[in-house]
Chain A
Amino acid sequence: MTDINTDQAKAERFDWDGAEYSARVNKRKRSELRLKAIGLTAIAAALGMLFLLLSSLISTGYHAFTQTHIKFDVTYDPEFINPDNLARSDYRGLIREVMRENFPEATDDDLRMLSGILSNAAQFKIRDRIVEDPSLLGQTISLNIPVSDPYDQLNKGLINRDTPEQFRRVNDAEIAAFDVLVSRDVVTKPFNWALFTNADSRFPELAGLKGAIVGSFYALLICFALSFPIGIGAAIYLEEFAPRNKVSDLIEVNINNLAAVPSVVFGLLALAVFIGWFGMPRSAPFVGGMTLALMTLPTIIIATRAALKAVPPSIREAALGVGASKQQVVFGHVLPLAMPGILTGTIIGLAQALGETAPLLLIGMNAFITAAPSTPFDSSTALPTQIFIWADSPERGFVSRTSAAILVLLGFLIFMNAIAIFLRNRFERKW
């Protein structure tokens, strides 16, 4: 009797150490290992792509972060300078004179070539100094003057001296003259601040991103000022106050659709409505910002609604339970708790807007504009459209500047996303 019972009990007991079960364990472990391997491969592939992209950008772009300069002693000789009209004096002649001092045996033809070593901006640089301080007349000062693009390329080793002369952008005489200057230790290669302090220019050595950065900043500011309040307002109404019915369902579907509309369509819309009907100025960051706001709005609405939904209902009940009104619940409890999520979504939306090119091209923000906008209503470019313009330019110097501009744009994007991640971690809550 007792024996039968024990046998039965034994038969019913599962054998956790048996071959059958250990086979299961091994199978499970193998599948976990496989999954891990697939995941690691995917991450490695993604990192590899990122590395390729960045290394190609940096290897071409880093040249643009320096600019070759030559240090010259410049004498503000009254022969060339008209003290009554400092802005319109013969600065070209002055530069030629500077070159004559440096190369005493040069002919007039040589001097023309030698003047070409210096950037077109040289005369303005010399002019600006004396306009600023008229007492310099007759005096000699030492000036650091940027060289023109071919010599900059030469100095950076981007021009191969072994190429036959007729295929080279600088001929043997020009190289020889430049080498003389190098041997005199007057050629320097400092950080290219002009990249950030100058607006666009026909001359690569002068072209900078200031106009594009300011334009993008204004456009994002307008975009934020419009899409943030409108987006949050719409999301709060839809999520917290709107009755659930066919109409609100329809609105929801449409907002989700809006988020998926290609950006070029928004550009066409802005061109037709803002510029066509309302007669707003072309190329203005203000119009660009409004266009970008159209695209950012659905992103912000969706992110805000998700953040509001994620606030646990028990918090709402708690507030309602002590007699808070719907409005007090939403603005006193739900919205503050949802704010990190809303801000994260907003920043990601703005980062998208910052990189958006197509709609800005359509409203003419790819114009050639050599001054940074002083208000959002002035014509301007934006970072992505500036990249587009430079990528399209034939001058060699713009190749590295295009990469540099992309790096600057990526820098801003990384900065914005870092803020988003910081906000998310900083305000993450446990309920």
Chain B
Amino acid sequence: MNMYDTERTEAALDVKNLKISATGVNVHYGQNHALKDVSVQIQDNTVTAFIGPSGCGKSTFLRCLNRMNDTIDICRVDGEILLDGRDIYDKGVDPVQLRARVGMVFQKPNPFPKSIYENVAYGPKIHGLTRSKSEMDQVVERSLRKAALWNEVKDRLQEPGTALSGGQQQRLCIARAIATSPEVLLMDEPCSALDPIATAQVEELIDELRSSFSVVIVTHSMQQAARVSQKTAFFHLGSLVEYGDTSTIFTNPTDPRTESYITGRIG
């Protein structure tokens, strides 16, 4: 087998599978220039990891992808972000519909102060994704199973979601996000509050989701990025320093800053 052939087919696949294309994205929080000229191509059926030191703008960029930053008064987003070739900041785009297609798991667990069942059922309910109660029950169970929470909560679905432990709440939020079957799932440090077993289950889920969705995950764990992602983006001080195949970034980074971060010298 010729290695050049393989590369050519992959490149062709890349163009066809392009899900999100961000070009020259700048974000300001008031006077604070939080993201500087970031351009990234995110592919379908791929897990993309965002890594970088705290405060470098990973969450900010993630929130640009589903226009969550619209809710922050002082936040200003410039640049172009295309989802399936369509500018999501275009006037004709409905941010509500966009957020249904681009789901998000937030950095801090934020379950609704409602029952576990209602937490998961909320998305499908407002979008009318199910026609009957039994169908809804199935969606709730499937989502909770995928989020590795079903066994712990199946006997107390009517208890408030806020009564769960921090890690369970985080998985509940994952279940809530995948219940609407979004095309893109943005996960901001989804495993930061999880024990190794739950982390492994969530990573399994992420791998499974890849078959149907595109997943973007922010993580502070280099091992996790290496384990679950195919593409990795390294952010530093608001700029995208390096973006490429995960294997390349971790074994053979081009930028010295990437290398020092990965090996633990800056952070």
Contact = CB atoms under 8 A, between A and B. Distances in A.
B202 interface: no
A328 interface: yes
A316 B113 contact: no
A323 B113 contact: no
A323 B71 contact: no
A318 B126 CA distance: 14
A379 to B, nearest CB: 49
A217 B112 CA distance: 38
A314 B106 CA distance: 9
Contacts of B97: 323
A20 B57 CA distance: 48
Contact of B68 (A244, A315, A321, A337): A321
A316 B71 contact: yes
B104 A321 contact: yes
B176 to A, nearest CB: 6
A317 B68 contact: yes
Interface band, chain A: 20 to 34
Contacts of A312: 110
Contact of A321 (B73, B127, B177): B177
Interface in A314-370: 314-326, 328, 332-333, 337
Interface string A300-323: 000000000000101111111111
Nearest to A429: B113
B200 interface: no
B96 interface: yes
Nearest to B122: A322
B140 to A, nearest CB: 14
B110 A315 contact: yes
A430 interface: yes
Contacts of A321: 66, 68, 99, 103-104, 106, 177
B165 to A, nearest CB: 14
Contacts of A244: 73
Contacts of B108: 314
Contacts of A323: 96-101, 123, 126-127, 180
A429 to B, nearest CB: 6
Nearest to B127: A323
Interface string B133-156: 000000000000000000000000
Interface string B220-253: 0000000000000000000000000000000000
Ranked nearest first, the 4 interchain pairs of A and B with the lowest CB-CB distance are A323-B100, A314-B110, A322-B123, A318-B110
Given A244-B73, A318-B173, 14 more contacts: A314-B108, A314-B110, A315-B113, A318-B111, A322-B99, A322-B100, A322-B123, A322-B176, A323-B99, A323-B101, A323-B127, A324-B96, A324-B122, A431-B162
